[in-house]
Structure 1
Amino acid sequence: MNTKQGWAGFVDEILDAPVPMRREELEALSPGDRALNREARKQFMIRGSVVHTAQFKAIETEILRRLMLNRYKSHGKLGVIVSGEPNIGKTTTITQIARRFERRRRGIGAVGSNAIPVIYVSVPPSCTPKLMLGEFAHFLGLPERARYNTGELMNTIATLIGTCGTELIVVDEIHNLNQRYRQMAEASDTLKQLSEKCPGTFVYAGVDVEASGLLDGARGRQISSRFQIMNLQKFPRTGKAKQAWANLLVAVEGSLGLLEQEPGAILRHERELHDATGGIIGDLTSTLHMLAIDAIDSGAERLDLDAVFGTKPAPAAAASASA
């Protein structure tokens, strides 16, 4: 996704959910069609389904609010920082929000054929201003030059962003910019200068951004004053939050495409799944996806969480297995 062609492919991709069917209908298919069905279900499970949690919706709402406000600001533009621990879903969240935004802009005819509504880049380790601008140049497809003036490249990129009608600029791995190191502080300044030179709302995402050094010192305080920090949280399993965890489990269960998975059966193991994943959505989906792929390939077509956690099957399931 770090080139305009790669990003466009991500935005354009539409995976339709496979048509639901019963086991006997699957078995009635030819061997080739059965294999195609299984592969389509696995592909949709992993790439075509996204659970829009309350946290996802809150972050999307804040980004859209700031996009609207920035249309009327010539300087001091507002942004959003999405922070959280590893595998909490930061990159998935920001890329899906950006994808939805671009698809809406296309849907209402708000962009031309040469427009680039969204730019997505990642901050490289040990980043310098030159490396940071290089990521933008790479995404936009600017020709590489052995030598270039950083100021000239900055102006070229800013002009191109304006010409292409870019509205949303997503900068991932922002935790790689630690203000305590001069070259990284200067790379952070480069992003600030770019935001003032071109239209577009900046969205940063990174691991535990508050502790990364990005917000340290005078530069960090300025970022904090302009960016709303949105923390992606684990799903707790206490009080009212327990229902949100249950809703997430049911939503992910429904996206697995297993022919004989009883809706809601996953809730029998909601405690064990929480203990195993810590309430982290990335760990949960990875665990369930691997189990679901095994169930599809083996023909079981249901999650065998009793075998995973060493629990006793539900009475109905036990009776069915002994019949």
Structure 2
Amino acid sequence: MTRALSHGDPLEGLPSRARIAELILSSRPPLDTYVGWQHYRTHCGLLVPAPTISPRQWSMLPESRQYDYDLYRELTNANLPLQDTPMHDKVGKLIRRRLSSNTRKKDDPTRAGVMISGWGNYGKTASVCSAGAVFEEQWLALHRCLNPAALPGARDLHAPVVYVSTPVTATPKSLCASILGFFRAPTRKSATLPELVRLVADSLHDHGVKALILDDISRLRMHRADDQDVLDLMRAFMSLDVTLILTGVNIPGIGLLREAMWNKTTRQWELPPLESTRIHGLEITQTEHRFDLIEIDRFRYVTPKQIGVFVDHLTGIEQHLRLLNAKVGMLTGGTMPEYLMRRTGGVIGLLGRLLEDGAHEAIGGKELIDESLLDEIVLRRDGPEQAPDEPVIPTDPPSAAKPPQQTKSTRPRNTTFDDHGPASATGR
């Protein structure tokens, strides 16, 4: 990783200080807008890493160029690339298959959707957005960046993919406003719900939307009437030739697919029978029928295949980091893989944050990541500690405290008038 260049400028291709400052200070538009989504789609993964140089080459640079290089490699280390992990590939494969099938349907009035569930820092949003961006690139190339359903003379934006975050206090009106806000479409405050639904339907059609990503769907709680209405509205959108892609934390546990339980033996979510089954004979709800659910997992460290996948991921990070004393095997040699698995539990977001912080601390110091350096970084992990070979099982909701039961009196019963039956003739 730190091989020296035999000739030429070791920092050839390094941007100027003004360009580096522009990269650091530039802000990304909100992702839940058309401008923000297009910025993400066109800029994702385009950051060129800082060149790799040796400590000797760095010491020979002018002080101003040393500062420029250190600034740029801080930017490099803080932007770890999205790698092809089994979890990421699983999400991308399902989304590609569902979108490919739905966009070719002609007579089916309802489009099946996708749900991506997982715990915090598991990479749900990154995987879904990446798959959505790939689909949009392919769709635009197929239609030469033109909307095949556009009306003659219309100049509507062509937006095959729409990304919206579920409102914190979700209502059917607030959800419609969020979708319309993606296009910055004007709305009247006095607009009724039917008017907003019609505006959303027209916007999705006019802009050629094929995929609607609704993030943070776990904000819905099925014990609230408004949230139930929001779920009904989402199902209504599925009849608009749009594929719904919902992402959230613990989707099976929030009631969207009924309260599910994790089966340790089969390592799958199991849905208990509905109460209505006994009365109406209904076995599965509409939501379960219309959506495919994927549970994003974390890295495991039990079988040789799982260990190899985790080490390969560390190799990708190792090749991206820019530290002067870095060497091959910095993250994959010795006991470092086991240490990183123990510290992060295999959660991809926690792993990235730990190594980003470690690289930041190493610049100007060790210029190398090791266990002693990472020991000084406090990493907060949600939930109790779990062994790497145990499945991630959601914490059971706290049961309502039962009122203390009153104990009956323990005074012995009076047996004076009890009839014990006739005495035996034999005295036995």
Q: Give your verdict on TM over 0.5.
A: yes
Aligned-pair distance for 1:251?
Answer: 1.8
Deviations 1:260-290 (A, max 9, x none): 3212221231111111111101100000001
Question: In the alignment, what sits opposite 1:2?
Answer: 32
Aligned-pair distance for 1:75?
Answer: 2.2
2:301 touches 2:310 (CA, 8 Å); kept in 1?
yes
SS of 1:196's partner is coil
* 1:306 and 2:348 matched: no
Aligned-pair distance for 1:220?
Answer: 8.0
Measure the CA separation in 2 of the matches of 1:204 and 1:92.
13
Measure the CA separation in 2 of the matches of 1:89 and 1:143.
33
Q: TM-score, normalised by structure 2?
A: 0.67
Aligned-pair distance for 1:301?
Answer: 2.5
- 1:282-293 equivalences under 5 Å are 282-293=349-360
Give the direction of change, closer, same or farther, for the CA distance of 1:169–1:44 in structure 2 (3 Å limit): farther
* 1:256 and 2:256 matched: no
User: Which amino acid counterpart does residue 9 of structure 1 have in structure 2?
Assistant: H
RCO higher in structure (CA 8 A, sep ≥6):
1
Measure the CA separation in 1 of the matches of 2:196 and 2:177.
9
* 1:200 and 2:265 matched: no
- 1:1-323 equivalences under 5 Å are 1-13=31-43, 14-47=46-79, 49-71=81-103, 72-73=105-106, 74-107=108-141, 110-112=144-146, 114-197=157-240, 199-216=241-258, 221-239=285-303, 240-267=305-332, 268=334, 269-296=336-363, 298-309=364-375
Deviations 1:182-240 (A, max 9, x none): 1101001111112212x332111100110011112789822222211111112111013
Deviations 1:138-197 (A, max 9, x none): 111112422112122212222222221222211111111223321101001111112212
Measure the CA separation in 1 of the matches of 2:131 and 2:139.
12
Name whichever of 101-110 and 173-182 sits farther off.
101-110
Q: CA RMSD in A?
A: 2.3
Measure the CA separation in 1 of the matches of 2:33 and 2:170.
19
Q: Which runs of 5+ in 1 are unaligned?
A: 311-323
SS of 1:306's partner is helix
Give the direction of change, closer, same or farther, for the CA distance of 1:260–1:176 in structure 2 (3 Å limit): same
Deviations 1:295-318 (A, max 9, x none): 22x2533213234349xxxxxxxx
Aligned residues: 308
Question: In the alignment, what sits opposite 2:401?
Answer: none
Give the direction of change, closer, same or farther, for the CA distance of 1:175–1:219 in structure 2 (3 Å limit): farther
Aligned-pair distance for 1:26?
Answer: 3.1
Question: In the alignment, what sits opposite 2:399?
Answer: none
Aligned-pair distance for 1:109?
Answer: 5.6
Q: TM-score, normalised by structure 1?
A: 0.87
SS of 2:285's partner is helix
Report the structure number with the largest CA radius of gyration.
2
Name whichever of 272-281 and 162-171 sits farther off.
162-171
2:339 touches 2:371 (CA, 8 Å); kept in 1?
no
Name whichever of 20-29 and 158-167 sits farther off.
20-29
Report the identity percentage: 24
Deviations 1:35-60 (A, max 9, x none): 33333333333336111201211211
User: Which amino acid counterpart does residue 372 of structure 2 have in structure 1?
Assistant: D
Measure the CA separation in 1 of the matches of 2:347 and 2:119.
9
Structure with higher helix content: 1
SS of 1:165's partner is coil
Aligned-pair distance for 1:22?
Answer: 2.5
Give the direction of change, closer, same or farther, for the CA distance of 1:47–1:169 in structure 2 (3 Å limit): farther
Q: Which runs of 5+ in 2 are unaligned?
A: 1-30, 148-156, 259-273, 275-281, 377-428
